[in-house]
Amino acid sequence: MAFHPNVRLRRREIGAAYGFLLPNLIGFAVFTFFPVLAALAISFTDWDLLQAPRWVGLGNYRTLFTDPLFGQVLKNTALYVLGTVPLQMALALGVALALNQRIPGQLFFRTAYFMPVVASTVAVALVWRWIFNYDFGLLNSFLYMIGVQDPPNWLGSTRWALTSIIIMSVWQQVGYSMVLFLAGLQGVPQQLYEAAEIDGAGPTARFVFITLPMLSATTFFVLVIGVINSFQVFDQALIMTQGGPANATNTIVFHIYRNAFQFFKMGYASAMAWVLFAIIFVVTLLQFRYQRRWVNYD
């Protein structure tokens, strides 16, 4: 039975498409999919990398949810997410609105705000560690100049350490969200603003009833990505505070790192990693569930 030429052509095109996808699929399977399944299996064992894994079933998960330190780590991470994401989004939107106008040096300012995004997080954290230094840091020197006699011990205080990391993270991540908001702003039809202005709408009304609804899809994307990234904060806590003082900046990923590569509790660390995955999955699922109420895709 002879095949129609179009059928042969379609099969060749499908074969070529799978040929192009195959290297990526192999890389995904080898470096992501199978390691994730292996981590799930390891989470049910007690393994220190030296001896053979010992099956403990749900023992790691029971230990995890009765460990007060994990509760503190989870609280720290939640506070970091709640402190970073809304502030970052608000600042990014404000900067995007300002840089969407025709101002002198527009390209320079856009580049300057985006530079921290592409800078090494380790280098940025080291610079901010110097800025927050209690004795000779730039921030406390400025506070002394304006009359503050007892400035905070930013990185050495359980009250201010997490706040310091939030400030540094917001500064570094604003540029990324700004670029996304700029793209969204440039997609808003100017006719809507012109019509609203003719009808007598002021700047506030135009922002509330035109800009925000038209940016809802972009805002949703920035929110989802920001929450996912914030739950995985690691470099800042490692470089700036080592999780201290008194575990005040110990986050989930940093706690996983310490248990896996310092204490060699691979099973316990794998269990924490899967709990983190479950938390991010549930939070993201809820965001997608309720985005229909406020996101406009028209």
pLDDT tens sequence across 203-252: 899 999 999 999 999 999 999 999 999 999 999 999 999 999 999 999 99
What pTM did the predictor assign? 0.90
Q: Is a pLDDT exceeding 90 seen at residue 1?
A: no
Contacts of 153 (CB under 8 A, 6+ apart): 134, 160
**For range 180-203, the mean pLDDT:** 90
pLDDT at 4: 57
Confidence at residue 113, expressed as pLDDT on a 0 to 100 scale: 92
Domains of the chain: 68-293 (1.10.3720.10)
Percent of the chain beyond pLDDT 70? 98
At residue 13, the pLDDT reads 86
* Coil, helix or strand at residue 54: strand
Look at residue 5 and tell me whether its pLDDT is greater than 80.
no
